[in-house]
Amino acid sequence: MATVTLSKPEVKQTECFIDGKWLPAASGKTFQTINPATEEVIAEVAEGDAEDIDLAVKSARSAFESGPWKNMDARDRGRLLYKLADRIEQDLDELAALESLDNGKPISDAKAADLPLVVDCLRYYAGYADKIHGQTVPIRGNYFCYTRKEPVGVVGQIIPWNFPMLMTAWKWGPALAAGCTIVMKPAEQTPLTCLRMAQLAKEVGFPDGVINVVPGYGPTAGGSIVKHRGIDKVAFTGEHLTAQIIMKEAADSLKRLTFELGGKSPNIVFADSDIDLAAEKAHFGLYFNQGQCCCAGSRVFVEESIREEFVEKVAKLNEHRKLGDPLDPQTDQGPQVDQNQFDKIMKYIDIGQQEGANMVTGGKRHGDKGYFVEPTLFDQVTDDMKIATDEIFGPVMSVLSFDNYQDLVERANNTFYGLAAAVWTRDIAKAHNLANELRAGTVWVNCYDVFDAAAPFGGFKMSGMGRELGEEGLKPYVETKTVTVSLG
């Protein structure tokens, strides 16, 4: 078989981006970002901490309170967002390769999913910039009362490593459309594309200080964002345990908070569904992005009469899944993002076997280099098993059986998470009834992982607070001001 030589993308930005300049960390420290497919160091990146965050906040505050950003017409803010979207689209191949290198996701996924969604999200919010307006209010008396929608101020944005560019776009889009300024910390595992996006934003003309990016670790750089008095709001995506720390630490300054957190999403397959399609999409809904999705369909409830047939179909798809170099366009599945995630997933695979679930496929490391985990499928999983209750964040599917609708609803909702759910049936009334009863922020019917910049996304219960995307995603970046003018 011919070997394909795949060209590696060039790493251009590795420092802190503060006030429109590239700066080393004040401490001079750096950390390594690792290629998860080879375990080799890709680059040394500036390790920002409190001092760098403070500098970034001062820059963001000054850009918010004076200068070209404050005085820019809303429509021109929108034009800058359109330009950034165009520039990203122009550099799509290069950015997809960089994302794939740093995160380990297959380049075909980065090109077909992540990047187009990034461009779409920025364009969606670009169109909103000049459509954020208040109302006139008919209060009692001889007054003219109206509301203004003003930007919330300087926002701190902390993102995870599973969709680095997309999470950047979900955060920047609404914040910039609303007129806020930004201090962002990308995840320590995957800082490269966010830094590249900052450079592109500079090149298309975003004024200095509007976007600042400080790479670094969670408790230090992230913690400094959360505690800083000069930040008005924090938007965070990551684990609920981190969100709990953030909520406590943000209490002192009563920051506005939005959270998009984890899940253990039920994917429910009825006997009257299109079983081939349900199996194909259940496979996609769990193994996509190496299972590293907050909304992964990780609890697959299958009606008992079709369970064996369904499991066979998913097993066949798993066996055909091609694991390998993420930069190879033929690859379906890359490595997990790092050693920690790899170890955690392997531990859960052991636990599943000890708990007595039936492991139908996978279970092992793939190859001897890189953090690859075989697509793993457990059948005959019961509700109390840890593989059915804990978020594994890896390529591990648990199939649970059901035969009673009412029990099913209770079991599907019996989790402290509530991010997403899916239902597979040809019975439209059953689909809608279940969509109403499931306690989740998103319910997909006869589809999975359908995302659109216009459709709000976020969690019930401990899966989040507030929504991203759509008109709802804009609201946390806006304050309402009431102005009352005496006409007497």
Does the annotation count 280 as an active-site position? no
Cβ neighbours of residue 396 under 8 Å, at least 6 residues apart? 286, 291, 298, 345, 348, 349, 352, 362, 373, 376, 378, 387
Q: What is the Cβ-side half-sphere exposure of residue 4, based on CA atoms within 13 angstroms? A: 11
What tokens does 471 get?
Answer: 């008109």
Window contacting ligand ADP (CB under 6 A); options: 14-22, 126-134, 212-220, 312-320: 212-220
Distance CA 260, CA 240 (A): 8
Residue 86 C-beta: closest distance to ligand ADP, Å:
28
**Using the rule CB under 6 A, is 293 a contact of ligand ADP?**
no
Helix 405-413 crosses helix 428-437 at what angle (to 10 degrees)? 40
Of 162, 161, 204, nearest to 185 (Cα)? 161
Residue 162 C-beta: closest distance to ligand ADP, Å:
7
Residue 230 C-beta: closest distance to ligand ADP, Å:
16
The CB density around residue 308, as the number of other CB atoms within 10 Å, is 12
Our CB check for ligand ADP shows the closer of 258 and 273 to be 258
Window contacting ligand ADP (CB under 6 A); options: 141-149, 242-250, 406-414, 480-488: 242-250
Distance CA 18, CA 51 (A): 12
Among positions 238, 285, 324, 458, the unique one binding ligand ADP when judged by CB under 6 A? 238
Residue among 121, 180, 293, 294 flagged as catalytic: 294
Residue 472, helix vs strand vs coil:
coil
Among positions 45, 55, 107, 226, the unique one binding ligand ADP when judged by CB under 6 A? 226
Beta strands 358-361 and 154-158 are unpaired
What tokens does 248 get?
Answer: 């406590």
Give, as ranges, the residues between 73 and 112 that touch ligand ADP (CB under 6 A).
Answer: none
First to last CA, the chain: 87
Q: Are the C-beta atoms of 56 and 222 separated by less than 8 Å?
A: no
Burial track 360-384 (b if 16+ CB lie within 10 A, e otherwise): bbbbebbeeebbbbbbbbbbbbeee
Does the annotation count 260 as an active-site position? yes
Among positions 153, 215, 223, 266, the unique one binding ligand ADP when judged by CB under 6 A? 223
Distance CA 120, CA 106 (A): 20
- Map residues 169-198 to x or -, x wherever contact with ligand ADP holds by CB under 6 A: ----------------x-xx----------
> How many residues at the interface with ligand ADP, by CB under 6 A?
17
Of 25, 73, 32, 76, nearest to 46 (Cα)? 25
Our CB check for ligand ADP shows the closer of 121 and 243 to be 243
Residue among 15, 47, 260, 391 flagged as catalytic: 260
Among positions 35, 100, 181, 242, the unique one binding ligand ADP when judged by CB under 6 A? 242
Q: Where are the beta strands (DSSP E) in 100-175?
A: 136-137, 143-151, 154-158
Our CB check for ligand ADP shows the closer of 88 and 158 to be 158
**Using the rule CB under 6 A, is 156 a contact of ligand ADP?**
no
Among positions 78, 207, 209, 222, the unique one binding ligand ADP when judged by CB under 6 A? 222
Our CB check for ligand ADP shows the closer of 222 and 266 to be 222
Window contacting ligand ADP (CB under 6 A); options: 76-84, 238-246, 360-368, 375-383: 238-246
- Footprint on this chain of ligand ADP (rule: CB under 6 A): 158-160, 185, 187-188, 217-219, 222-223, 226, 238-239, 242, 245-246
Active site residues: 260, 294
